[in-house]
Amino acid sequence: MEDPLRDERFVSVDYRDLTPEALRGLMEEFVSREGTDYGLRERSFDAKVRDVELQLESGEARIVYDLLEERANIVRVR
């Protein structure tokens, strides 16, 4: 997969620039479309949201805004 920020259509958004409510909503939406867990143990929805939050804080993930579709997404940094 190509780096979405190499395309002028996408803009990186610092998670700290979002309101806590907007950030939580984006993380919840992201986690809800993940699919089914097939690991050794199930994780709660809140635990998954917290994992995404930790990934944003550590720089493992970032928020990207699509100017054409006018929506944000969370992507993993490689």
Q: Kindly report, residue by residue over 17-73, the tens digit of the pLDDT.
A: 999 999 999 999 999 986 656 567 778 899 999 999 999 999 999 999 999 999 999
Q: Is the pLDDT of residue 5 over 60?
A: no
Residue 7 has pLDDT above 60, yes or no: yes
Query: Is this structure's pTM higher than 0.75?
Result: yes
- Whether the CB-CB separation of 12 and 64 falls below 8 Å is answered with yes
pLDDT for position 8 = 86
pLDDT at 16 over 80: yes
> What per-residue confidence (pLDDT) applies to 35?
64
Complete domains list, the chain, with CATH: 4-76 (1.10.10.610)
Residues 6+ apart with CB under 8 A from 60: 54, 76, 77
